[in-house]
Amino acid sequence: MPILDVQHIEKHFGDTRVLEDISFSLEQGQAMAIIGSSGSGKTTLLRCLNFLETPNQGKILVNGETLFDADDPATQREAEVRKKRLHFGLVFQSFNLFPQYTALENVTLAPQLLAQEQPDFKARRREILEEISSQGQALLERMGLADRSGHYPHQLSGGQQQRVAIARALALKPDILCFDEPTSALDPELTGEVLKVIRSLAEQKTTMIIVTHEMAFARDVADQVIFMDSGIIVEQGEARQVIEHPREERTRQFLSRYAGS
């Protein structure tokens, strides 16, 4: 059984059909890259998976549980949606760190808020907060930022900020980690350090969906690639096959613009 099963997702904004009949599945421990031109629907698809947008049609299942069904209003209640977002972690292209908090505080804020909803929080407050802080520090160390935990975002490079954002997404132990163009806001010399972290996560069999324009990276790191154009999936399959030997003419035309990337 796949960890993620997306069935016939559609999203419209007024008369504009942004996603049409999107279906795919992802196995636990796999990385999927989604490629395509700007405006092809990639980011909207990620936002639907993270319940930041509500699809007009379709279903989303994680571990066999239906998290969203457009025909079932019970799956769309805000209280339910908040819980379901925990299945996904999202790393934005523009970092979206809180400027008033240190790196460690950015990583630990959401786990602390979640912990406060637990019935035993008051009784175990100090112990729980110390554990969350320790886990946050360990995540920063994993990102190569052990000595930056007390730094504020403005004291960090773009690559360091993005690595803090990755640690923050991992802090809630999501089933699936999603990246929306994680290097697009970075200078070329900083891109490598972020891709190195994502490559490491792939080697550790972290289940990931990566929207990216880095074709060589997608080919080498992803298990599957989906090519989207005009809101539909034009081609999907094993990463090296799609990128090196695409079957569809639209895929070939797109990839020809990235030759040598």
The CA-atom distances, in angstroms, between 242 and each of 35, 44, 73, 222, 225 are 11, 22, 37, 11, 7
Domain locations along the chain: 4-256
- Give average pLDDT by consecutive 10-residue segment, the chain, 261 residues: 96 94 97 94 95 95 94 88 89 92 97 91 91 97 95 96 96 95 87 92 96 93 96 97 95 82 45
Which of 200, 221, 197 has its CA nearest to residue 209? 221
Amino acid at 159: G
Q: For residue 81, what pLDDT is reported?
A: 83
Q: Which helix (H) or strand (E) covers residue 197, if one does?
A: helix 188-203
Q: For residue 257, what pLDDT is reported?
A: 85
Distance CA 146, CA 120 (A): 30
Instruction: Tell if the pTM clears 0.85, that is, is over it.
Output: yes
Which of 146, 156, 198 has its CA nearest to residue 177? 198
Q: For residue 261, what pLDDT is reported?
A: 45
Q: For residue 94, what pLDDT is reported?
A: 87
Q: For residue 136, what pLDDT is reported?
A: 97
Buried b (16+ CB within 10 A) or exposed e, 106-130: bbbbbbbeebeeeeeeeeeeeebbe
Asked if 92 and 179 touch (Cβ cutoff 8 Å), the reply is: no
Q: For residue 260, what pLDDT is reported?
A: 46
Which of 190, 248, 198 has its CA nearest to residue 218? 198
Q: For residue 93, what pLDDT is reported?
A: 87
Q: For residue 149, what pLDDT is reported?
A: 96
One CATH from 3.40.50.300, 3.40.630.30, 3.30.930.10, 3.80.10.10 for 4-256: 3.40.50.300
Asked if 85 and 60 touch (Cβ cutoff 8 Å), the reply is: no
Tokens of 203: 């080697």
Q: For residue 259, what pLDDT is reported?
A: 56
Which of 59, 109, 107 has its CA nearest to residue 84? 59
Q: For residue 58, what pLDDT is reported?
A: 97
